[in-house]
Amino acid sequence: MSYVRPMRRVSPRFIVGVFAGLRVAIGVAFMIAPDRMRGSSDRSSGATLMTRSFAVREAVLGVGGLLAVAGRGHSLAAVRTWAGLGALTDIGDLGASLAGAKERGQSVRGPALVATTGLLLELWALAAPSHVSTESQVI
């Protein structure tokens, strides 16, 4: 039960902010070096286009999430909106990871774990009771 107490100090704003920052970083990295980040030697224009489309999606979600958590005057509703959007994309990412494993026999542990972690934490932020302060942080 030692993990439950610290989780009470984590706010939806903190969860959305952390994932928003990660999304911006991932988006920028995939925009700059799509072939390297994809871990593939396939340099086809179609694969690069899809990777860059993913990068744009991540960056836009990240910027939106950061804007939602940036100001103290922002509402819990704005934070929840971006938590919900993040959860939706993580559901899609998890499904794509699992489908890719069946098609190509790839290991999906890493991408599936990242998507599952994001999904669970963003769902928590989305469903956090309204009495949970959006200002609290991990001490």
pLDDT one-digit tens code per residue, 13-49:
999 999 999 999 999 998 898 877 766 666 677 777 8
Q: What does the pLDDT average to over 104-130? A: 84
pLDDT of residue 106: 60
Q: What tens digit of pLDDT does each residue of 54-110 get?
A: 889 999 999 999 999 987 666 888 899 999 999 999 999 999 888 877 666 566 778
Instruction: Find the distance separating the first CA and the last CA of the chain, reported in whole Å.
Output: 17
pTM (two decimals)? 0.77
pLDDT above 90: residue 136: no
- The mean of the pLDDT values for the chain is 81
Using alpha carbons, select from 137, 110, 60 the residue that is nearest to residue 118: 110
What is the pLDDT at residue 27?
A: 92
**Residue 115: which region, alpha, beta or left (left: phi > 0; alpha: psi -120 to 50)?**
alpha
15 and 121 Cβ atoms separated by less than 8 Å: yes
Chain centre to alpha carbon of residue 64: 12
Cβ neighbours of residue 102 closer than 8 Å, sequence gap 6 or more: none
Q: In the structure, what pLDDT confidence band is assigned to residue 137 with cuts at 50, 70 and 90?
A: very low
